[in-house]
Amino acid sequence: MEKFPLKGNREIVAEGNSYITAYQSVLKKSNGHTVNNSDSQYQEHPLATSSGSTAVTTSLTTPDDDEMIDITPRSSPSELHQHSTHFSSYSRGSTADNSDMERGRDFHGHHQPPQSQQPPQRTHPHVPTHSAFGDILDGGLSFYGSSATHFIRFYARAHGVVAEPHDDIPGIGQYDDFHTIDWQRDIARDRMRHRYIVKKRQDSLWDLVKGAHDAWSGWLCVLLVGIAAGCVAGMVDIGASWMSDLKHGICPLAFWFNREQCCWPTKQSVFDEGNCSTWKTWPQIFGLNREGTGAYIISYIWFILWALLFAALSASLVRMFAPYACGSGIPEIKTILSGFIIRGYLGKWTLLIKSVGLMLSVSAGLTLGKEGPMVHIASCIGNIFSHLFPKYGRNEAKKREILSAAAAAGVSVAFGAPIGGVLFSLEEVSYYFPLKTLWRSFFCALIAAFVLRSLTPFGNEHSVLFFVEYNQPWIFFELIPFVFLGIMGGIIGTLFIKANLWWCRFRKFSKLGQYPVMEVLVVTLVTGVICYPNPFTRMNMNELIYLLFSRCSPADVSNPLWYVSDYTRINITYGATFTEVTQPGPGVYRSIGLLLLAFFLKLALTVFTFGMKVPAGLFIPSLLLGAIMGRIVGIAVEQFTYSYPNVWIFTGECVTGNNLITPGLYAMVGAAAVLGGVTRMTVSLVVIMFELTGGVGYIVPLMAAAMASKWVGDALGRQGIYDAHITLNGYPFLDSKEEFAHTTLAADVMQPKRNETLNVITQDSMTVDDVEMLLKETEHNGYPVVVSRENQYLVGFVLRRDLNLAIGNAKRFIDGINGQSVVLFTSVTPTQNLGPPPLKLKKILDMAPITVTDQTPMETVVDMFRKLGLRQTLVTHNGRLLGVITKKDVLRHVKQMDNEDPNTVLFN
């Protein structure tokens, strides 16, 4: 059974007046005479008590079903709408990801003053209620506490009308923190709600309008999510750009301009500060020249001070206001989309602090990116907007469709790559991705990219981040170095994952984890001190990647990346043709040396940075590492072809003057290789890369590198960085892409083991005290219901939360119920009832739980958990209950079969 603590259950039960308007208090009967309630408000409630065609009565003297206390509603069809409206005013949908301020909210109703002293008379005949979850529920002391859809179904069939299925009883249909949702129940609830709306559309114009609104509410929701995600991403990009340039200087004419905007009016160079007179460096602000030892020292100091300030603010905001705003967020988003509940992770405070903290951490010059956090930010926006539409806000399975579209919008605004964002959500993040979610994700990513393009945070006429201006065709023999880059990308990615996991474990289990702000400041200080002297590590990573991707032939010295280069022009003859090339001078080798130093520095700093308590992404650092590696390999291949033009594999292509080696292409391929080695993405990676650069003609080299990177990475280590962090944190994530290849049976995995007691509830022999004792002594999420202790044939399954709600409210609102009342999960009542009235809870019983036999292969069981989204399944043998298999039992078993520690599958 699942061991997660059931937060809030006892508090809900103990709240005295939380449900006072949700349930009818059943009245005493003394000496065979009925006592009528003077408060007609209770009698008009959907759970008001009636029996047959009489007024509200209760009976404790006869054992017959029809004469026992029954709080099943029996009002006329004309009263149904009024009851449903009153009932919905106290409803509250399930919120898996509310903000931290919303965690402790209870479900309080409000008393209405009595409006009439006479009970309403009802003359319609009693109609039995049936359901797929139970049979007739006439009489007995019945209490409804399960899904509201079951109640509405009973109520509607009892009166021959269609009832609105989403008028939830307060506290029902929700999930506790750190629990898994029931996909099958939520999807069934949505289908029932949809059938109700379709049937009601023919009744009136207003119902037709409501049906139309329900039909396009999903499109409206993703439209709002896309607009909001684009606006937030634009603000983050603009703010991060301004604060990053603030470390180098300021624009005196308008301090809110960054360096590029400050230099626009004069059309001066952005990269060469000496040519931009409107931009002032910090030495100039203090009256010194741009160059010189004193100016260098002042610039060095201000660079580090600003970085420390930004990092301290980011870490402090995260620690004080939103602890969930740290890190990338993609591992947790994957876990949430698989059906796990982490309250507050997608809340309003997390959205605000993650947005502000991301700007600060990027501006601090830390080796991190904003792409992963943008997925988290967009998912927060999706969660917030989903609550505007009850169709999604009250249904956790439907809400995850919006979150999948929001994740696509996050990648879209992070890179300016809407198609890549959709494929990223499909391949890497989402667990349940139906076709309509694909369409809505595409629309959401499109809107987000359009809004971001309107804000133009990239400062050019293109909507992509690293636009390349060359379209030189690649040569066939270049597939060899492209595949080599893919192999190196897989090796580098695996080394990074192992090193980062080692450091994260050390941080987690040592005293270092107790000082997160101090760790951030130390890493920021080290980063600033060692990165400033190198011009390639000093500049913004996005800017460096753009320079590495750009065209830079040996004769082209306009690119500032190669301003230290010097080349010698020579002519190479091939037959009757010749071409002019240049030989590298000492400046080229100096640049290569600085790039190699930048590579190792960034690799080491990324290991220590990713996982700190600040918003931190991994895409940009991975792209930078690959771009540096690819650019160096590209220069080597370029010089090799110029030095040996007559080698047979070149077949003269490299000296025709048209098909020259392009080092920028190698930088692109290398970036894709390292990113693929770190994340193990394939299809979405290639699409993101050619959308990032506009290099559609280079799909084949990118595909070759991505596949080689994935093969090598999978050979050295199975998991990508996000799956590895899911495992490190112990999230109960069952990957749908992995296969279970072991030959075990369900009997090997089920709980309890041999010689252990199976906690069950009998259908008619346990008292309220017995059930409460079982709830107190165990923490299981639910309990099987069997015929008897001796005859353990399965009857059904009841959830712990429903039991708590049912018993707690029955004690408060129904007279006569005490600890000695027998709890019945059957319609058959005892022939003699000498004690207190029994409490019938058959309506909260799931009579069709998912079951398997003890000889079912675990491969089939694992597939059922993955594809059906199960929380648990019951194991039987010839109809007799043997045990239970929960999702965490499956995860622990997979760990054991893979020779890993099964105790890591806990939420830490």
Lowest mean pLDDT of 214-223, 279-288, 342-351, name the range. Answer: 279-288
Please report, to the nearest 10 degrees, the dihedral formed by the alpha carbons of residues 241, 246, 248, 251 taken in order. Answer: 100
The dihedral sign for the CA sequence 14, 16, 17, 23: positive
Which is more confidently placed, 43 or 592? Answer: 592
Under CATH, which architecture does the 746-898 domain have?
A: Roll (3.10)
Q: Supply the pLDDT for residue 867.
A: 84
Cα-Cα-Cα-Cα dihedral of 549, 553, 559, 561, to 10°?
70
Q: Is 91 helix (H, G, I), strand (E, B) or coil?
A: coil
Q: What does the domain layout of the chain look like in residue ranges?
A: 218-248+306-455, 476-729, 746-898
Q: How far apart are CA 410 and CA 378, in angstroms?
A: 5
> Three-state secondary structure along 318-378?
HHHHCHHHCECCHHHHHHHHCCECCCCCCCHHHHHHHHHHHHHHHHCCCCCECHHHHHHHH
Question: Average pLDDT for residues 546-550, to the nearest whole number?
Answer: 85
Instruction: Render pLDDT for 355-388 as a digit per residue (tens, 0 to 9).
Output: 999 999 999 999 998 888 999 999 999 999 999 9
Structure tokens at 30: 């003394």
pLDDT digits (tens, 9 = 90+) for 457-475: 545 555 567 777 777 778 8
The more confident residue out of 485 and 285 is 485
Compare 309 and 741 and report the one with higher pLDDT: 309
Contact criterion met (CB below 8 Å) for 571 and 508: no
Q: What are phi and psi of 871, to 5 degrees?
A: -95, -35
Please state, in angstroms and rounded to a whole number, the distance separating the CA atoms of residues 348 and 354. 10
Token couple for 43: 């009698």
User: Residue 855 pLDDT more than 70?
Assistant: yes
The average pLDDT across 8-15 equals 37
For residue 786, report the phi and psi dihedrals to the nearest 5 degrees: -120, 170
Of all residues in the chain, what percent are helix, strand and coil, respectively (each to 5)? 55, 10, 40
* Arithmetic mean of pLDDT, 817-836: 79
Kindly state the average pLDDT of the residues 201-218: 87
Structure confidence at residue 264 (pLDDT): 72
Q: Can 218-248+306-455 and 476-729 be said to share one CATH topology?
A: yes
List Cβ neighbours of 265 (8 Å cut-off, separation of 6 or more).
278
Which value, in Å, is the radius of gyration of the alpha carbons in the chain? 33
Q: Is 559 exposed, middle or buried (0-12, 13-18, 19+ CB in 10 A)?
A: middle
Average the pLDDT over 266-280 and give the result.
Answer: 61
Region for residue 755 given its phi and psi (left: phi exceeds 0; alpha: psi -120 to 50; beta: otherwise): left
pLDDT at residue 56 tops 90? no
Distance between CA atoms of 291 and 299, rounded to whole angstroms? 10
Q: Say which residue the tokens 């075990």 belong to.
A: 744
**Contact of 457 with 238, CB cutoff 8 Å:** yes
Selection from 75-79, 286-290, 317-321, 865-869 with the highest mean pLDDT: 317-321
pLDDT band at 805 (very low <50, low <70, confident <90, very high): confident
Could you give the CA distance from residue 374 to residue 618 in angstroms, rounded to a whole number?
Answer: 11
pLDDT bracket for residue 579 (50, 70, 90): low
Q: Whose CA is closest to 598, among 628, 626, 620?
A: 628
At residue 842 the predicted structure's pLDDT band, cuts being 50, 70 and 90, is: confident
- 13 and 805 Cβ atoms separated by less than 8 Å: yes
Q: Tell me the pLDDT tens digit for each residue of 174-197.
A: 777 788 888 888 888 888 888 888
* CATH class of this structure's domain 476-729: mainly alpha
94, 157 contact by CB (below 8 A): no
* pLDDT band with cut points at 50, 70 and 90 for residue 565: very low
As a whole-number percent, the residues of the chain with pLDDT over 90 amount to: 31
- Inform me whether the pLDDT recorded for 673 exceeds 60: yes
- CA-to-CA distance for 56 and 49, rounded, in angstroms? 6
E strand residue ranges, 590-643: none
- Higher-scoring residue by pLDDT: 506, 182: 506
Query: Per CATH, the architecture of 218-248+306-455 is what?
Result: Orthogonal Bundle (1.10)
Dihedral sign of CA atoms 666, 669, 675, 676 in order: negative
Q: Decide if pLDDT at 657 tops 80.
A: no
* pLDDT: which is higher, 574 or 673: 673
pLDDT at 376: 95
The phi, psi pair for 739, rounded to 5°, reads -110, 145
The pLDDT of residue 895: 84
Q: DSSP assignment, residue 59?
A: -
Do 46 and 83 contact (CB within 8 A), yes or no?
Answer: yes
User: How far apart (Å, rounded) are the C-alpha atoms in residues 532 and 525?
Assistant: 11
At residue 587 the predicted structure's pLDDT band, cuts being 50, 70 and 90, is low
